[in-house]
Amino acid sequence: MTATTDGSTGAANLRAVPASDPTESTSAADDTLAVARRAAERSVEHLLGRQDEQGWWKGDLATNVTMDAEDLLLRQFLGIQDPDTVKAAARFIRGEQLGDGTWNTFYEGPPDLSATIEAYVALRLAGDRPDDPHMIRAAGWVREQGGIAEARVFTRIWLALFGWWRWEDLPELPPELMFFPKWVPLNIYDFGCWARQTIVPLTIVSALRPVRPAPFTLDELHTDPGCPNPARPTAPATSWDGVFQRLDKALHLYHRIAPRRLRRTAMNAAARWIIERQENDGCWGGIQPPAVYSVIALHLLGYDLDHPVMRAGLASLDRFTVWREDGARMVEACQSPVWDTCLATIALADAGVSPDHPALVRAADWMLGEEIVRPGDWSVRRPELAPGGWAFEFHNDNYPDIDDTAEVVLALRRVRHPDPSRVEAAIERGVRWNLGMQSRDGAWGAFDADNTSPFPNRLPFCDFGEVIDPPSADVTGHVVEMLAVEGRAQDPRTRRGIAWLLAEQEASGAWFGRWGVNYIYGTGSVVPALIAAGLPAAHPSVRRAVDWLRSVQNDDGGWGEDLRSYREEKWIGHGSSTASQTAWALLALLAAGERDTRTVERGVAWLAETQQADGSWDEPHFTGTGFPWDFSINYHLYRQVFPLTALGRYVYGDPFALAGGVGAVETGGGA
């Protein structure tokens, strides 16, 4: 074995590098190992250089131009336009326009009607003329798709704020929802936390139906300007859609006769709920959309812009912006420092960086400081459970998530911290909280337990993305892996999670990916978990997964999967090779004992060949998922942390392989 340097910067304090297997029959594996080692060292240098002095990492979180358009619409509504901000936002929005005049919601994706409408309106607010060539192309395409009438509800809400759409032609969302107890269907806790935070302020907006004078008309976006709000057909009364459409009609009638005192009390209850959940930095839930709607709702109830709640809320929105060198301004939907930091810590540790390296200790210190030790909305369903989780963002104490908590525990376990008792106590709380958030079916969702009501998605109002938070294979896989590393593979709760995962495997051998694209992410999350929990590599579920990954490897040696796989079967496992998706596939294959196969060698070679001179990778494709198909994310740090983790495990092996040891016994659910 060869020793490595022990300095405090760069690729320092690397673990000893194992020599090549003397039984290797060809030099190809030796060459691949050497190439992988060099690529990993460059990547370590790059990632260490990106750490903030406080200990965290954060990459940009890119989504689509609706974030930027709605930011300009909010400023127009509140009367706080700033010429420099408007100019910079318009520059970004124009730069994202496609050649046919449209906007899409992910790289190389198809045009999106709502995104195009919102971007068009934002550019009109910024001063672009409707007879400008790029605007003519956009408006023409919108009309070809049916005009504003075919846009999603949220787009039409923004237009209704300025009289470009009638409130009467939008689904009703009464604030009296605040009075529904948690056992009544469609109470606010039946919605996923991201939807809940948005819906509560929108009940106030829906009740008050405000209209600010529009600075121009949008006749050019209607197929028939004389009848801009055509009626939509009603589904049969025997269908769920028909039932909820008729319920919406009844709610519109109720809007006209709602007792004023009851409605005012309901709106005040919603306002209290909003204010109680404002974070210390002024945001709501650490994500941009609830902040936008909360500011509007409170403003409508009389909170002036100088009120401390409003000042803090507006200031928090400015922290979601990324200013680019060309003068453009991009708005992030969210920020991901906890997620990025735990993944970066895992990547560096698995790539040979010493557990007591100063960068890892700083990261652990920062993560320990981010632990959430007070109850949040999750405690509505788990009132007896003690807190102890981590959230995704800088400030989000109300909504820790199960996925981050599992990965933070895995990261902390890799660090040799000078105060081990502090680390052990935090890990113990995190494990206990994750176990307590297990759903009845044995699996885990992202933010809540048993958030599986079938009704919220049926509401006419909810036509955009997921509004509930059911368990998923990727989150469950991460929790099972964490529990196995913590020596809890034999715990009945872990075994139930394993059984659920085995039962959820697709006929193809893959697993669906809820929070990453898509089956490659799901499979890359589950296989390492099953192996960590002790299932042998020869287990039929593992072999089916390996066979599927082999079958979808691209000719160039990498893996890729287009976001359209959420809607079109032909895209499942298929798409341009990307660094993060190639890494996910490799993590599954390495866990399954495929290290010395040609499949893995080709994948590792692709990562090495596509690495840039500074040790990073380029990845314009979106591989993160907010809502399957409807809201896609490009996590700019995914392209760095996952390839480094895969390269590290190829060179050094998995540091926690077979951590739990349930073996092949009593796994259930298809074992």
Of 206, 193, 122, whose CA–CA distance to 161 is shortest?
A: 206
Burial status of residue 164 (CB atoms within 10 A of its CB: 0-12, 13-18, 19 or more): buried
Compute how many other C-beta atoms are within 10 angstroms of the C-beta atom of residue 221.
25
CB of 358 within 8 A of CB of 7? Answer: no
What angle, 0 to 180 degrees and rounded to 10, lies between the N-to-C axes of helices 358-369 and 402-412? 140
Chain-centre distance for alpha carbon 349:
24
Q: Tokens for 324, please give them.
A: 């680019």
Of 568, 554, 552, 549, whose CA–CA distance to 628 is shortest?
A: 568
Return d(Cα 479, Cα 443) in angstroms, integer. 9
Helices and strands in the chain, H and E counts: 22, 5
Cα torsion for 623, 281, 173, 220, to the nearest 10°?
Answer: -60
Beta bridge partners of 451: 469
Dihedral of alpha carbons 178, 183, 185, 188, sign = positive
Return d(Cα 240, Cα 450) in angstroms, integer. 22
**Overall size of the chain counted in residues:** 671
Distances (CA, A) of 204 to 275, 300, 321, 429: 13, 8, 27, 37
CB of 267 within 8 A of CB of 211? Answer: no
Cα–Cα–Cα angle for 220, 223, 224, rounded to 5 degrees: 95
Cα–Cα–Cα angle for 391, 66, 322, rounded to 5 degrees: 60
Burial status of residue 91 (CB atoms within 10 A of its CB: 0-12, 13-18, 19 or more): middle
| Type and span of the H or E element at 198 | helix 193-208
| Type and span of the H or E element at 409 | helix 402-412
User: What single string gives the DSSP state of each residue in 23-41?
Assistant: T-SSSHHHHHHHHHHHHHH
Burial status of residue 265 (CB atoms within 10 A of its CB: 0-12, 13-18, 19 or more): middle
Cα torsion for 647, 573, 101, 126, to the nearest 10°?
Answer: -50
Compute how many other C-beta atoms are within 10 angstroms of the C-beta atom of residue 236.
9
Active site residue 401: no
Of 349, 477, 492, whose CA–CA distance to 402 is shortest?
A: 477
Q: Tokens for 509, please give them.
A: 């051998």
Catalytic choice (68, 190, 401, 403): 403
β-pair type (631-635, 321-323): unpaired
Return d(Cα 280, Cα 270) in angstroms, integer. 19
CB of 324 within 8 A of CB of 330? Answer: yes
| Type and span of the H or E element at 367 | helix 358-369
Return d(Cα 384, Cα 382) in angstroms, integer. 6
Query: Looking at residue 2, what DSSP letter applies?
Result: B
Cα torsion for 558, 559, 563, 567, to the nearest 10°?
Answer: 140
Instruction: Report the catalytic residues.
Output: 403
